[in-house]
Amino acid sequence: MECMDTEQSTGETPKLTRWQKHKRSILIAVASVIFILAAIVVWFLLAETKHAGENQTPVKSTQTTTQTQPQSTAPTWKGSVDPTALPLGNGHVGSSPKSGYITSCTTTFRGGGAQHAGGWIDENKGTWNSQSKVTVSGSVNWPNASYAESTSGSNRVIKTNDLPVSDPTGIFPIRSSDAAYQFDRNPNSVMSHALTYNLPLDPAAASAPSCLGLGPVGVMTNGVLLYDALDDGGRDAVAYETQDECSGHPDGQERYHYHDVASCILKRATGTSTLVGYAFDGYGIYVERDSKGNLPTNADLDECHGRTSDISWNGSTVTMYHYDATLEYPYTIGCYHGSSAVSSHP
């Protein structure tokens, strides 16, 4: 007799056995415990993070920042000049301040400077071409060059040995084989000079401008002395005298100097406003450019070759007077604007 299955299908879902029900209860309980434990851990971590944030001491940055010149608004100039046809400054010297002139303490000149006018000068038209002018050859570096600024009371103390920091000079005396020799036979050498200048840290305007003496009228931030734009004959020194690739040369006291802002400095000063030196009345000398990179013209500046605008000065942005570099004579300073100018030099 064949054995028959005692459980027959009725078409309904089979009922869970006692063990299956027990197993399901255990799984539900374990899942609940895990969920509760996870919630407790998350709450604890959040509480600890908040507590640590409330009691943490802020860490100050030790990074050193470099102050930059104001760059937000480029100046707007009244015009531009043609570097191939710059006006000669000959005869633009007097005893009273006037835009485009030098107010000189000396009005009688002994002669000297370049022996011959170069082909870049057109004396009939009263112009000269800065792009075709010859330069003194050679590139001499000066690893012992030094320049330092410090403050002492109300003074800015500048120490320099008058050798250009990071910039080269030409070979002086000018060699007979040099193309510049046929125009200018400068027989002087470039020598080191220990110089110290005490300038007003916060210069003040004088009741009236004052004249410029022969010799240094300022010092550039690369350590080189700045003279006004006159040669020993009272002519436009930048046009007539031959200088090296950085626009410098030595005088009879073997002091290396510029008569305008050096071309090497101009190449580096590409921003809207860059401090490049100090006049001996304490005011800054700046390279300022418009949105097209142009320098100002005489029409943009006063009789001392300066103006008042926003500049970076003593670590702050202030609105004050300063001198400006131009391609036009007198190039940097026409007279002293300040009330206290260095009158004697080391």
Element (H, E) at 86: strand 86-87
Residues whose CB falls within 8 Å of the CB of residue 63, separated by 6 or more in sequence, listed in order:
none
Closest CA to 304 of 78, 89, 99: 99
Return the pLDDT at 13: 44
Residues whose CB falls within 8 Å of the CB of residue 272, separated by 6 or more in sequence, listed in order:
69, 70, 71, 72, 73, 74, 75, 288, 289
> In the block, which residue shows the tokens 């410029």?
212
Bridge pairing between strands 256-258 and 225-227: parallel
pTM, whole model, 2 decimals? Answer: 0.78
Cα–Cα dist 287/113, whole Å:
27
Can you name the residues that pair with 230 across neighbouring β-strands? 236
Positions in the chain whose pLDDT score sits under 70: 1-72, 343-346
Return the pLDDT at 341: 74
Residue 54 DSSP class:
H
Cα–Cα dist 341/203, whole Å:
9
- On whether the CB atoms of residues 256 and 170 are closer than 8 A, the answer is no
Return the pLDDT at 54: 39
> In the block, which residue shows the tokens 């570096």?
141
Return the pLDDT at 8: 40
pLDDT digits (tens, 9 = 90+) for 144-193: 999 999 999 999 999 999 999 999 999 999 999 999 999 999 999 999 99
Two tokens at 163? Answer: 């050798």
- On whether the CB atoms of residues 209 and 227 are closer than 8 A, the answer is no
Residues whose CB falls within 8 Å of the CB of residue 11, separated by 6 or more in sequence, listed in order:
none
15, 22, 31, 33, 37 from 28: Cα distances, Å: 19, 10, 5, 9, 14
